[in-house]
Amino acid sequence: MSADPYFPRNGDPRYHAHRYELALDYRPGPNRLAASARIAAIAGPEPLREFTLDLAAFRIGKVLVDGKAAHYAHRDGKLRVKPAKALAAGAVFTCEVHWSGNPRPVRSPWGGLGFEEIEDGALVASQPIGAPSWFPCNDRPADKAAYQLTVTTATPYTVVTGGRLLSRTTRSSATTWVYEQPAPTASYLVGLAVAPLREFPLTERVPGTVPQIAWVPLALQAAFEHDFGRQPQMMQLFEELFGPYPFGEYTVAVVDEELDVPVEAQGMATFGRNHVDGRRGWERLVAHELAHQWFGNSVTIADWRHIWLNEGLAKYAEWLWSERTGGPTAQHRAADAHRQLRGLPQDLAIGDPGKRHMFDDRVYERGGLTVHALRCAVGDAAFFRLLHGWATAHRHSVVTTDDFAAHVSHYTDRPLRPLLDDWLHARALPDLPEL
C-alpha cells in the first residue's frame, strides 16, 4: 500500500494495525486526558526497523514494543518508534504507548479536527485527519482495525462511542465505560461523545430490526422522539436496498451544542441540538449519516481521492428515502441538484477533487447525480441489484473508483465507462439524466 496522495504525512504503509485497545481517563472540567494504547499490528513485506504513529502534541510516558522499551522521537504530529530489535517481515507485534495532556483539535485546511471541548463535555469529529488529536494511530483510511475503548470519566457524564457497550462500572465519583467494536474500522471513524445525556431506545417497539439506541439531553427528548422516530423504518429500507446492516448496533448521540454538520463515525452518528427541531427538518441528514454505515464505514475508500464514493452514495440514499416515503422523487431531487450545480463554477472533477475541494458541496451533489445517471442508464432492476451487490460484496473492505466501475460493468451490457468519465473526471456538467 502507498501513502495517501492528499495526506502523504499521515499513516505508515509499512505495517497494518489490526486491533487497538485504548484506555482513557478523561476529566471534562480541566480537559485532561491520561491514556494508554495497546496496538496489535503486522509488519509489511519488508523488515521493520522503525515505524511511525500519528499523535498530536501530548506528553509521552513510555513506549514499548513486544513488552520491551523502544527508542522513540515525537515531533510534528509523528511518534517515531524504533524497536530494540528489528521486526521481521510479516511479524506480528504489539506497540504500547502511554500519553497525557490536554486534547485539542489538530489544525487542517477546514479548521480544527478531532477531539473538541463542547459546552459541557467533549466530542470527536475526526474526518479526515483528526484521530491523532486523541490517540496514537496509523491514520490512513485503508488501515482498518478492531477497537476496544475503555473510558473513565466523572459519573454525571455519559460516554458514547460506536460498538457494543460491554460494561459500565461506577466507583465513587467516576464511571468506567467499556465498548467493543469488532468490525474493521478506519481511525477517522472512531467516534466519541462525553456529555450529560439520557438513554433513549429507538427500537424497543420495532421487533426484528437492528438495535438502535440514542443518547439525548433531557430537554430535547420529546423533539428527538418525533424527528428520529422513523429511523427504524429507515434502517429497514436501507437493509432492503443495500443489504444487511454491517455492524451489531447503531447509536445516535445528540449533544447540547450547535454543530455545523452531524459527525459521522462507525456504528454511530453525533448530531447537534440545532438538528433537532421537532419538525423533522433535518431528516435527510438522519438518512445520510445512516447510509454512511454502508458507504464509507463498511465499504471504505482506499484513499481520499475517492471520497465521492462515500458522499455520492450517501446523498443518493437521502433521495431514495424521500422517494420511498412519499416525498419528492429521486428524479425531482436530481433536477434540483442539477439546477444548483449549473449555477456553480464548472471547474471540479469529483473523481479526484484534490485536497482543497474534497468537502465541496459539488462532490456531494454531483456524486448523487452520478449514481442517478447510472440508475437511468441500466434501469431500476439492474440498478438496485448493483447497489445491493456493491455494499455486500465489499463489506468491511477497502475500495477505489476503479473497483466501482468494474462492479458496475457486471450489471449491464452497455459500456458505462464513458458515462462515469463524463460525471467523475470531466469538469463540464453533463445533461440532467432522466428515468
What 3-state DSSP class applies to 275? Answer: helix
Q: Categorise residue 108: left if φ over 0, alpha if ψ from -120 to 50, beta otherwise.
A: beta
CA distances from 91 to 66, 84, 105, 320 (A): 11, 15, 34, 46
| Chain-centroid distance, C-alpha 389 | 21
- Residue 53, strand partner residues: 79
d(CA 401, CA 293) in angstroms, rounded, equals: 18
Amino acid at 427: R
d(CA 176, CA 156) in angstroms, rounded, equals: 12
The neighbour count for residue 113, using CB atoms within 10 Å, is: 22
- All three cell numbers of 386, joined, read 448493483
Among candidate residues 381, 193, 351, 350, the one with its CA nearest the CA of residue 269: 193
| Bridge pairing between strands 51-54 and 250-255 | unpaired
Please say whether the beta carbons of 24 and 157 come within 8 A. no
Q: Which residues contact 351 (CB under 8 A, 6 or more apart)?
A: 305, 306, 308, 401, 424, 425
364 catalytic per annotation = yes
d(CA 322, CA 316) in angstroms, rounded, equals: 10
Is residue 275 marked as binding? no
Is residue 292 marked as binding? yes
Please say whether the beta carbons of 352 and 309 come within 8 A. no
Is residue 257 marked as binding? no
Phi (first) and psi of residue 395, to 5 degrees:
-55, 130
d(CA 198, CA 219) in angstroms, rounded, equals: 10
Among residues 289, 316, 318, 365, the one annotated as catalytic is 289
Q: What percent of the chain is helix, strand and coil (3-state, nearest 5)?
A: 30, 30, 40
15 catalytic per annotation = no
Among residues 6, 26, 72, 364, the one annotated as catalytic is 364
- All three cell numbers of 223, joined, read 423533539
List active site positions.
289, 364
List the binding residues: 288, 292, 311
* Residues flagged as binding site for Zn(2+): 288, 292, 311
